[in-house]
Structure 1
């Protein structure tokens, strides 16, 4: 930022299969006593569209996270009530920023023949100089792309059960049960003790477990019919995820749902589509915690304390996160940082995960010709 400008607030929105979006409020200074430092827009202080932006956010410099993106738009919020300090007037400008996945909105028309979803993800990632982190899939695709690379990638992910997320210049295309580890390998822990006089790091928490409640995860048996064009044979397929009650008892599906979003040409393809369509993290919770930049979609969080109930203790997987930072330069103790989370589990009492592979440090992000790129694009698939 230019001299005299300072950051007022930051809101960062992160979710699966969505572009990261940040809203940044910057206070620019207009000083009528110094004509050479006049605040001007858009050619002066305000950042033009597509300007690359690098933000470090967190409580302290040694535990902060890096965020990379581009300016999508700027909005001046000038009014006669703007703060004045002598001849200097503070004018707020709201910048809407999009993450490094923004260039993937380029539309393409091409055909993928006998290609696996993991190979598609690697190719698209490398075309935009993103480092692909991909779980291997042996499914073969023959599909025509008539959409942006981002839309197509999310559509492929929905067909195989991938989580699509771009973190910095790393493109994650992994199965939903794959954990996205923090850079230091730790798992954030928050408590709600409800002790008199204590300030809980888990500020708010609510969880829903309901067999037929969408907020708690509908327990359903999914059905579909595959049609083989060659043999002209209809083949029924079904899928029902194993679920348990808070008491640990297994239960069968309460409802039956008919899948009709995509056609299937075989029993195998129908079963794959049904598994991908089912909600793996069927138990949902919402929480507000002290701010922590390690909280991102696919990461883990450990919740503890008597205030949330025994069945809710332990690990949860983050599905979406909103980081909100409000900076008070006059009274630093009033600066606030919170993270609002949507969490999920695949069991009523715990998060049941497969054995995770060892993580590899992502490539550094570098700026080349105005575009954020991974320093190298291999080594994580």
Structure 2
């Protein structure tokens, strides 16, 4: 089989889609002898080693060179060369869109939030999807989704035949695991945290994540509980979040919120495993990777009863209606305080996470690609 994997999401800091692309690429490299040709593509250049490319990007050293010459050659000539080099290959884009130089292939659709919740996205993103994404769907032969929930949405929203869409669950890295307090206490202390002394939410600050509802519910907790287990927020600033940032700042002044911003990959697994509880009341997710990471870390988890989140949690999390204030508040109390439920939830969460590995995701994806390549 001849396969090209797009790496346009491989940009630091790595997002969930970027992680997905990197994990696929890493697995494909280890099985390269199974391919007649296996190549990686970024923008309008070929990439030899995805991990090296990501490290160079983080260091600002990706440069402008590609095989065949410099990027200052005419665009039409580069596109003609790329079309010729891709001839006979199956193209897989892990990030919604096919390049205009590609006539067909497979794409992974992670969610339809831009169509279902347009008010939670910047206008330029909506415009991009309304043009480029629909043009992509006209050319692809098959679609991959991260969950059955998203698969059903694509079928219903675009009228696609079920046979043309396959759901393949994402995976969790081995570094997200249970850790005893002594193994991470020192690192947590460097950030002013203590093992088991905080609730955690890892999320971009954007409207559909419902971090504002989480803050309102947390503020309504009994004061001793809120003081004992302050809420730690980790994640990038996102968009449409000015009002939310004001809420966060108020909570920080009052001492029950800690906003850490983007957390580097080395510390994030420790931050998870040191939490008393993980709270993720997003109203809509195509998969909800943070929920899986929290369960793999042995942390009792609360999440929403909507979209793919119950599917990912698979009975291991406390489910709530994220826009129901009382239900969210009472759920937080349960996840923090109900020791019997917590013990059961941890055991079930570890079981679920143990079955969802990146190796399994990559093998199933490659198996699907073989059908078309």
The question of a shared fold, defined as TM-score above 0.5 by the shorter chain, is answered with no
Structure number with greater Rg is 1
TM-score (norm 2): 0.27
TM-score (norm 1): 0.26
Q: Which has the higher helix share?
A: 2
Pick 1 or 2: higher relative contact order, CA cutoff 8 A, min separation 6.
1
